[in-house]
C-alpha cells in the first residue's frame, strides 16, 4: 500500500504539474492573441483593398462578451466612417497605393451622410489619377451611392441593382391592444411626434404622413442628385419608376439591365474583377489564387497610418481641438461606444477639462433618447464651454430630439443637406393591463393614502391624478426644450414652437428655418473651431475624446468572425429582400421591448432611426435586451 500510495501521489503530482503548464500556456496564448495587432510593415505596393463586410457607423459598438460567445451568429463588422475617410485620404498621398479595390459583396450599408462623405473621399482619391474599382453582386441604395464615385463599377453576372429609396411601412398595434384589452397611456407634446403613434393608432396620422412625405421626398432628391453628379450617365428614373419596362428590356438579366441604366460599367465575376485590378496594381507574388492581386487590407493600412492609442487621434503640432462623439440612442448610464451613455460621455468631457483644449467639436449622430441623459450631456458640454473655448456642433446622419437637445450647447451648428434633425418634442408611454386581466377574473384592490399611492399600477390602471402629473411633466419638459432652442438659436419661443411640435426636418430645410447655421462636414467644423480659437493651419490637431477599445472586444470579433459554422450573408437579390423581410420580426420585438421597458420621458425620433441607418442585425434598439444571456452580459459590464 505504501508503494501504491507513492505511485498515486507521483501521478497526481504529474497531473497537477501538467495542468499548471497547460494553464500557463493557455494564458500565454490568450495574451498573444490580445496583444496581436496588424503589422504596419505588412503594407505592400499595390491596391488598398476595402472589403466592407459589414456596416459603416459613426462609432463602432462594444461587443458584450456573453452575448457574443453564446450567440449563434458572429457580430456584425462595423467600420468607423472617419477611419475609412482617413484611410482613403492617406492612400491618395502614398505612392505605394496604386488603386482602391472596393469590394461591396457583403456590405450592409450606412447612413446617407456617411456614404456621401466617403464618396467625397473617393473623389479626392481619383483626382490624384488613381482609379477606384468597385465590385458587388447586388447593389442597393447605400452601395450604389458609394459605387457611383468609382472609376469602374463591376457587377456579378448573377447580380444587379435594386434602388428602393427611403420609406417603407411601420407596424401599428392599436387593433391588437384593443383585442388584448391593453391600455397604452401616451403622454406627448407635438402634433408631429409620431414615435408613439404605433401604440395609439392603426395607421399613420395625416400629420405624420405629411412630415414623412416631405422628409423622404427631400432625402430621395438629394440621393439622386448625388448619384447623378458622380455618375451622369445613370438613368435613375428608368431603374426606379419604369422597373417592368427596364427589366423586360434585358430579358430579365438584372446585371445587363444595370449596364443599360448606366449603373454599372462591366459584367464580371470576382475573379475577372481581381484580374483587372492586378493589371493596374500588380499580381500577388505570394498568392496564386485565381483573381488575387497585390494589395494591403484595410486593417493593416489603418494600423500603419494611425497611432496605437485606440482613438485614431491625429497627432500634430500645436494645440488640441477636442472631438466628442454622441452616436446612437442617448441613455442615462455608462453604455457605449455605439450607444450614447450620458454617464460615459460626461466623464470623457470632464476628464478633458485638464487637457487645455483650444476648442471642442461635438459630433452628433443620434435620434435622441432619454431627456435626463440628453440634459446630462448638454451640461457636460457647458462645463467645457465655461472655460471660454469655442463649441462647434457637427451633425451627421441624424441629430434629432435628444440629439438636437445636446446640440443647443454649441455656438455654431454644421450639418449636411441630408442630415435629419429637429423633432423637437417629448413623449412617454406606460402600458396597463387591468382590462386584460379582468377577462380572466383578476382584479386589484387596496388602500391608498393619496391618489398617487401605488402608482403607476400596471395591473390596476392609472388614477386621473397620475395621468395629470405625467402629462404635466411632459408638458414642462417640452417647454424646457423650447427654451433651450430659443436661447441657442436666438428665436422667440413661439417661433420655435411653430417649427417644433415633433416635426422632423432635412438639413436643407433646417438651415432655412434657422435650426442649422451652415452646411459642412466634420472637417469643416474643425476648421471653423480652429479659426474661432485663432489657430493657424498646422498649429492644431484633432484629439478624439473616446474610450480605448478593449482588446477583448477585438479578439471576440476576430474569433467569432472566423467561425466556419457561421452562415454567410446572402449576396443576391433574393437574399437581400429576404433579409429585409426577416427584420420585421425583430422590429416587432423591439417595439414590444420599447413599450414595456420605459426609461422615463424621452426626446426620441424613431422615424429618424428607420430612415438613416441600415437594419440592426439584432433588430433591437441600443440599450435593450430580449434574452437572459443579454441581461447577464449587462450585469457583468
- Catalytic residue numbers read 193, 401
Indicate if the alpha-carbon torsion angle 552, 553, 555, 560 is positive or negative: positive
- DSSP letters for 539-583: SEEEEEE-PPPPHHHHHHHHHHHT-TTSPPPP-SHHHHHHHHHHH
Residue found by looking up cell 501521478 in the block = 11
Q: Residue 330: beta bridge partners?
A: 340, 369
Residue found by looking up cell 413599450 in the block = 595
Nearest-angstrom CA–CA distance, 616 and 586: 9
Angstrom distances, CA of residue 618 to CA of 67, 277, 328, 340: 11, 35, 15, 18
Angstrom distances, CA of residue 301 to CA of 41, 52, 53, 120, 133: 9, 14, 16, 20, 18
Of 169, 173, 162, 174, the closest CA to residue 212 belongs to 169
Give CA 588 to chain center in angstroms.
20
Q: Residue 139: beta bridge partners?
A: 161
Do residues 266 and 83 make contact, with C-beta atoms less than 8 angstroms apart? no
DSSP tag of 444: -
Q: Counting Cβ atoms within 10 Å, is residue 254 exposed (0-12), middle (13-18) or buried (19+)?
A: buried
Amino acid at each position: 500500500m505504501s508503494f501504491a500510495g507513492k505511485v498515486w501521489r507521483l501521478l497526481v503530482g504529474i497531473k497537477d504539474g501538467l495542468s499548471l503548464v497547460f494553464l500557463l500556456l493557455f494564458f500565454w496564448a490568450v495574451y498573444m492573441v490580445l496583444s496581436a495587432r496588424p503589422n504596419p510593415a505588412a503594407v505592400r505596393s499595390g491596391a488598398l483593398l476595402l472589403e466592407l463586410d459589414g456596416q459603416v457607423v459613426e462609432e463602432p459598438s462594444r461587443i458584450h462578451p456573453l452575448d457574443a460567445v453564446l450567440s449563434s451568429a458572429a457580430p456584425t463588422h462595423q467600420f468607423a466612417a472617419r477611419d475609412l475617410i482617413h484611410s482613403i485620404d492617406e492612400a491618395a498621398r502614398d505612392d505605394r497605393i496604386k488603386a482602391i479595390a472596393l469590394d461591396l459583396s457583403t456590405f450592409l450599408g450606412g447612413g446617407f451622410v456617411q456614404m456621401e462623405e466617403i464618396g467625397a473621399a473617393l473623389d479626392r482619391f481619383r483626382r490624384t489619377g488613381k482609379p477606384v474599382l468597385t465590385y458587388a453582386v447586388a447593389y442597393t441604395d447605400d452601395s450604389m451611392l458609394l459605387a457611383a464615385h468609382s472609376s469602374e463599377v463591376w457587377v456579378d453576372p448573377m447580380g444587379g441593382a435594386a434602388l428602393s429609396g427611403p420609406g417603407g411601412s411601420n407596424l401599428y398595434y392599436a387593433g391588437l391592444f384593443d383585442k388584448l384589452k391593453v391600455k397604452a397611456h401616451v403622454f406627448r407634446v407635438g402634433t408631429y411626434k409620431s414615435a408613439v403613434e404605433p401604440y395609439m393608432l392603426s395607421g399613420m396620422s395625416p400629420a405624420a404622413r405629411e412630415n414623412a412625405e416631405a422628409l423622404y421626398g427631400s432625402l430621395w432628391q438629394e440621393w439622386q442628385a448625388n448619384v447623378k453628379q458622380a455618375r451622369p450617365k445613370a438613368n435613375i428614373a428608368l431603374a426606379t419608376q419604369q422597373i417592368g419596362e427596364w427589366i423586360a428590356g434585358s430579358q430579365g438579366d438584372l446585371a445587363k439591365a444595370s449596364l443599360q441604366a448606366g449603373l454599372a460599367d462591366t459584367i464580371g465575376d470576382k475573379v475577372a474583377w481581381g484580374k483587372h485590378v492586378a493589371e493596374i496594381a500588380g499580381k500577388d507574388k505570394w498568392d496564386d489564387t485565381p483573381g488575387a492581386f497585390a494589395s494591403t487590407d484595410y486593417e493593416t493600412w489603418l494600423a500603419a497610418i494611425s497611432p496605437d492609442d485606440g482613438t485614431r487621434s491625429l497627432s500634430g503640432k500645436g494645440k488640441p481641438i477636442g472631438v466628442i462623439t454622441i452616436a446612437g440612442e442617448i441613455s442615462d448610464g455608462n453604455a457605449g461606444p455605439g450607444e450614447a451613455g450620458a454617464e460615459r460621455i460626461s466623464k470623457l468631457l470632464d476628464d478633458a477639462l485638464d487637457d487645455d483644449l483650444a476648442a471642442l467639436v461635438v459630433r452628433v449622430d443620434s435620434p435622441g433618447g432619454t431627456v435626463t441623459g440628453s440634459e446630462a450631456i448638454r451640461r457636460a458640454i457647458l462645463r467645457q464651454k465655461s472655460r471660454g473655448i469655442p463649441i462647434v456642433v457637427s451633425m451627421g446622419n441624424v441629430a434629432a430630439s435628444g440629439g438636437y437637445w445636446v446640440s443647443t450647447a454649441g455656438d455654431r451648428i454644421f450639418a449636411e443637406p441630408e442630415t435629419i434633425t429637429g423633432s423637437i418634442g417629448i413623449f412617454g408611454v406606460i402600458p396597463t393591463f387591468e382590462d386584460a386581466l379582468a377577462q380572466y377574473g383578476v382584479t386589484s384592490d387596496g388602500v391608498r393614502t393619496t391618489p398617487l399611492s401605488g402608482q403607476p399600477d400596471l395591473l390596476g390602471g392609472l388614477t386621473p391624478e397620475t395621468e395629470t402629473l405625467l402629462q404635466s411633466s411632459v408638458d414642462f419638459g417640452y417647454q424646457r426644450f423650447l427654451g433651450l432652442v430659443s436661447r441657442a438659436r436666438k428665436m422667440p419661443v413661439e417661433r420655435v414652437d411653430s417649427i417644433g411640435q415633433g416635426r422632423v426636418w432635412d438639413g436643407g430645410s433646417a438651415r432655412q428655418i434657422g435650426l442649422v447655421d451652415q452646411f459642412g462636414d466634420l472637417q469643416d467644423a474643425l476648421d471653423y473651431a480652429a479659426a474661432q480659437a485663432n489657430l493657424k493651419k498646422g498649429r492644431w490637431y484633432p484629439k478624439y475624446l473616446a474610450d480605448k477599445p478593449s482588446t477583448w472586444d477585438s479578439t471576440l470579433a476576430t474569433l467569432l468572425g472566423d467561425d466556419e459554422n457561421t452562415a454567410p450573408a446572402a449576396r443576391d437579390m433574393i437574399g437581400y429582400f429576404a433579409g429585409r423581410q426577416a427584420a420585421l420580426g425583430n422590429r416587432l420585438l423591439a417595439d414590444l421591448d420599447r413599450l414595456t421597458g420605459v426609461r422615463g420621458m424621452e426626446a426620441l425620433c424613431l422615424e429618424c432611426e428607420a430612415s438613416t441607418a441600415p437594419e440592426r442585425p439584432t433588430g433591437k434598439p441600443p440599450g435593450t435586451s430580449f434574452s437572459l444571456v443579454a441581461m447577464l452580459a449587462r450585469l457583468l459590464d
